[in-house]
A and B are shown apart, each in its own frame.
Chain A
Amino acid sequence: MNRLLLLALFGLLAASAVIAFGQAPLWLWLGTRGVWNAIALGGCVLAAAAFRPGEYLWWAWALNAISFALPLLWQLSGGIPEAVTRGPITGLATVVIASQVVVNAAGVAGAALFTFAFLRSGLLPGAGSRARTAGIVCAAAVICLVLGVPTLFLDLEPGPPVARLTSLLSLGGDATCFVVATPLVLIALELRGGALAATWWLLAASDLGWLAYDTTDALLGGEGSRRAEVIVFAVSLAMFGAGLSHRRAVRAAGAGAV
């Protein structure tokens, strides 16, 4: 990523944090979320375009693109009405739940494809050190328990059924994503020193970010949810970086330019 673009994105992240922590009007808030979703989606589309449609990692990027495109559609349509999330599971609420299922399934499938890419290529991650592999897997399990279990209990507390169900779906998807994505760290370590390593590091960071968001959102709740969304902005930035770095690595390899 060139320095100017990186500087602009971090500037935007700082401005978005100010909006999230301040008393910004709803339109500005929805616009900020939409912009970050569009940035992440753009990264996924750019990466997918570096591959031929139907290629293995084209699917991985396409699935990730779906997981950012659907929330963007909701934001463009003015957001999910609060009456829907607080009401019974009927009508529009079922569409909201179905889209949450699709978003999470696409995210998990995308992460899984990135994990299996290395295995599919015939190379085993972490082959160099069993202690390192075991350490990373243990650390991932601890993070998952520390972040996931309290969120699960908070989600199980009484509340509107639609909000609880979408929150549980989100937690389930993000926790699965994180577990599936743990080998991404091992793969990034194996690729260290190569242009492809940045992609796998950023994907792993993005998956950890989603789990951290679920916990922060559940703990802060209500008005605090806006502040928690700063993590989503950072996740979107990581996803954009992953997409762009993958595209650049693929193109550089094709041109022999790295």
Chain B
Amino acid sequence: MDSPLSLPDQIAARLSPYLGPNTARNAVRLCARRALDKDGTALAAADLPGLTQALRPMLRTLVGETTTEHLLRDLLSLGKS
């Protein structure tokens, strides 16, 4: 069954338990703009590798490298579902 949430909302939902809903949404929007030159509402599965690369430095600062890699793998799996 398809998720009722759009891809950017799914990404923000995965980050929200740690960063809070506000910062999770901001992070997706900022990284989409910086890395992909897109607004945060129109992302496709093909954008996930670029977006996760852009999220990496931010997450690495706040939760460390090991946890970041785990979170990013989780985000990349969204494109396969």
Chain A residues engaging chain B, CB cutoff 8 angstroms: 50-52, 55-58, 117-118, 120-123, 127-128, 190-197, 249-256, 258
Contacts and interface: CB of A to CB of B under 8 A. Distances in A.
Main secondary structure of the interface of B (DSSP, over half): helix
A253 B20 CA distance: 13
19 contacts: A50-B64, A52-B65, A117-B61, A122-B30, A122-B34, A122-B58, A123-B23, A191-B20, A191-B23, A194-B18, A195-B18, A196-B62, A196-B63, A249-B18, A251-B67, A253-B17, A253-B18, A253-B67, A258-B17
B10 interface: no
A58 B62 CA distance: 10
A121 B22 CA distance: 15
Contact of B70 (A196, A249, A256): A256
B65 A193 contact: no
Interface residues of B, number: 28
Interface string B23-41: 1101100110010000000
Contact of A253 (B21, B30, B58, B70): B70
B64 A196 contact: no
Contacts of B21: 193-194
Interface in B34-78: 34, 57-67, 70-71, 74
Contacts of A191: 19-20, 22-23
Nearest to B26: A123
Given A121-B61, A191-B23, A254 B70 contact: yes
Given A123-B23, A191-B19, A196-B18, A51 B64 contact: yes
Given A192-B22, A193-B22, A254-B70, A56 B61 contact: yes
A253 B63 contact: yes
B67 A196 contact: no
Nearest to A117: B61
B79 to A, nearest CB: 17
Contact of B61 (A57, A195, A251, A253): A57
A57 B19 contact: no
Contacts of A256: 70-71, 74
A240 to B, nearest CB: 20
B18 A122 contact: no
A229 to B, nearest CB: 33
A109 to B, nearest CB: 16
Nearest to B22: A190
B16 A123 contact: no
A160 B80 CA distance: 71
A191 B22 CA distance: 7
